[in-house]
Amino acid sequence: MKIYPLGAANPETIRMIRALQRGAPDLEFPGLLDNDPAKHGTDFFGLSVLGGCELIPHLAGLDVGFVSLVTGSTRARYESGLAITATGGALVNFIHPTVDLTLTHWGVGNYVQEAVVVQAEVRVGDNSSIHMGALVGHETSIGDSVFIAHAVSISGRCHIGDGTFVGTNATILPRLRIGRWAVIGAGSVVIRDVPDYAVVAGNPARVIRLEEPVYGDGSVR
């Protein structure tokens, strides 16, 4: 299978590719995509940046997949995932091989880094990303186009709505519901439900403001 990651920004991508290929030598990464024209034709740690999403209709086919590596904002992640599917690309998961996926349930287009712990009966939608050292407790559900930063701790039986951004080292206590397109500030301790479009921060986390709704759900297919 050939996989084309979208986003030439983080060298960790290359380490993940090498780790995946050690276990599956027939997995090919012919190059990277990036929507920044300044990067087109350049070399990114040994992989060529071929172009942007305009290439997807020409690259798509059987045994060809695409995944967004955009994580700076969930709105940008949603838009990049949607750009892939809208141009005919099939989303595939890009998950570090050390992550135990036993008794977990996954959509497509997810990007999961090294040292992530996802416990039993966790459900993850499409086009979400979980960064290094995060813990997702048992029976938690994570929606579409979510970003969970490194060292986050999400307790069991939580619900994380579409488009939510969970900042570095945040903690979410058990059985809480985090609304769509919420932002959880870095280091926050969330002890109560968070409404849609809310920005929360602090210990305990409190609502700082409500963002103007731009998108409803985070579905990219």
Q: Summarize the confidence of residues 75-80 as an average pLDDT.
A: 98
Residue 117 lies in a domain: no
CATH of the domain at 41: 3.40.50.20
The predicted-structure confidence for 182-194, as pLDDT tens digits, reads as follows 999 999 999 999 9
Answer whether residue 84 is part of any domain: yes
- Cα distances (angstroms) measured from residue 33 to each of 41, 47, 54, 208: 10, 10, 9, 36
Q: How confident is the model at residue 72 (pLDDT cuts 50, 70, 90)?
A: confident
> Is 192 among the domain residues?
no
Q: Are 55 and 32 in contact (CB under 8 A)?
A: no
Please check whether residue 148 lies inside any domain of the structure. Answer: no
Q: Considering the domain boundaries, does residue 78 fall inside one? A: yes
Average pLDDT taken over every residue of the chain: 97
- Burial class of residue 74, CB neighbours in 10 A (0-12, 13-18, 19+): buried
pLDDT value of position 24:
93
Query: Is 123 a member of any domain?
Result: no
Flag whether 12 is in a domain.
yes
Give the catalytic positions in this structure: 138
What would the pLDDT profile of 36-47 be if each residue is shown by its tens digit? 999 999 999 999
**Per-residue confidence (pLDDT) for residue 133, from 0 to 100:** 97
Q: What is the pLDDT of residue 204?
A: 98
Helices (H), 52-178: 56-59, 74-86
Say if residue 197's pLDDT is above 90: yes
Whether pLDDT at 105 is above 90: yes
Looking at residue 194, what DSSP letter applies?
Answer: B
pLDDT tens sequence across 120-141: 999 999 999 999 999 999 999 9
Q: Is residue 202 part of a domain?
A: no
Q: Distances from the Cα of 114 to the Cαs of 25, 27, 35, 109, in angstroms?
A: 19, 18, 26, 17
How many domains does the chain contain in total? Answer: 1
The whole-angstrom separation of Cα 60 and Cα 167 is 34
**pLDDT of res. 102:** 98
Residues pairing with 201 in the sheet: 206
Range of the structural domain that residue 44 is part of: 2-94
Number of H helices, E strands in the chain: 3, 23
* pLDDT confidence band for 168 (50 / 70 / 90): very high
